[in-house]
Amino acid sequence: MNNRQTILIIEDEENITKLLRTILRTHGYNAIVATNANEGKSMASSHVPDLILLDLGLPDEDGINVIKQFREWTNIPVIVVSARSNDYDKVTALDLGADDYVTKPFSTDELLARIRTALRHKRVSFDEELKRTKLFVCGNLKIDFDKHFVTIGEEKVHLTNIEFKIMELLCKSSGKVLTHDYIMNAIWGPYAHNDNKILRVNMANLRRKIENNPADPKYIFTEPGVGYRMIEAD
């Protein structure tokens, strides 16, 4: 899989967008861009980025409202990057769930440090959910959550970012059935299409990569009409 973390920039000023994209790509991140709130919410749902850089002064909706909507369905770290420097906006953004607040103009080093901190906190939080387990091992299947890779025996399996997130979610509740709606909301949020075709496509691709016989799976089982269940770890 591609180990580069993806950061979504939601910003309508072209010069700021170009600067942020250059900074991120130069330092090893994938950078994707939305120029308004609606596009940003859609891309957050479809791409499931590792972090979001959010401007507050968007043309179609105030960024404060966007933070509130994000926190109704996702814990993706959000760093506000805004020209608004008053305490009210900072406090409101943070109280609604933003992870950090950077005021324009900003230094490259400071922004990168804030990004690293937010991503590190996200990983620690997920590790706590997994009861600090760094590995999921079942038979020949091994998942290393810190290094973001999956192996079957000695062979490394290349997963997309979303496929790995599905694996994380299933492993966190291994042995339990997760419904289609639960998985859809956890991975893509409320802005995904109503049908679960995108889930079925990703699950089929995932099974082709980790199962010897996808029609007779050993690791991820289908509960017809309900959802999916990950085998329990060894």
The whole-number pLDDT of residue 49 equals 93
Q: What is the mean pLDDT of residues 159-181?
A: 87
One domain for residues 12 and 101: yes
- Is there a domain that residue 119 lies in? yes
Contact 182, 113 (CB under 8 A): no
One domain for residues 22 and 120: yes
Contact 23, 46 (CB under 8 A): no
The whole-number pLDDT of residue 139 equals 87
- 124: pLDDT confidence band, cut at 50, 70 and 90? low
**Number of domains present in the structure of the chain:** 2
Phi, psi of 19 (to 5 degrees): -65, -50
Q: What value does the mean pLDDT of the chain take? A: 88
- Is there a domain that residue 169 lies in? yes
- The answer to whether residue 9 scores a pLDDT higher than 90 is yes
One domain for residues 223 and 111: no
Angle at 127 between CA 126 and CA 128, to 5 degrees: 90
The whole-number pLDDT of residue 131 equals 47
Domain boundary among 128, 155, 177: 128
One domain for residues 140 and 68: no
- The answer to whether residue 2 scores a pLDDT higher than 60 is no
Nearest-angstrom CA–CA distance, 78 and 67: 8
Say which residue the tokens 């990168």 belong to: 112
Sign of the alpha-carbon torsion through 89, 90, 95, 101: positive
- 193: pLDDT confidence band, cut at 50, 70 and 90? low
- Is there a domain that residue 1 lies in? no
Residue-number span of the structural domain to which 176 is assigned: 135-230
One domain for residues 67 and 163: no
For the question of whether the overall pTM of this predicted structure is more than 0.75, the answer is no
Contact 159, 1 (CB under 8 A): yes
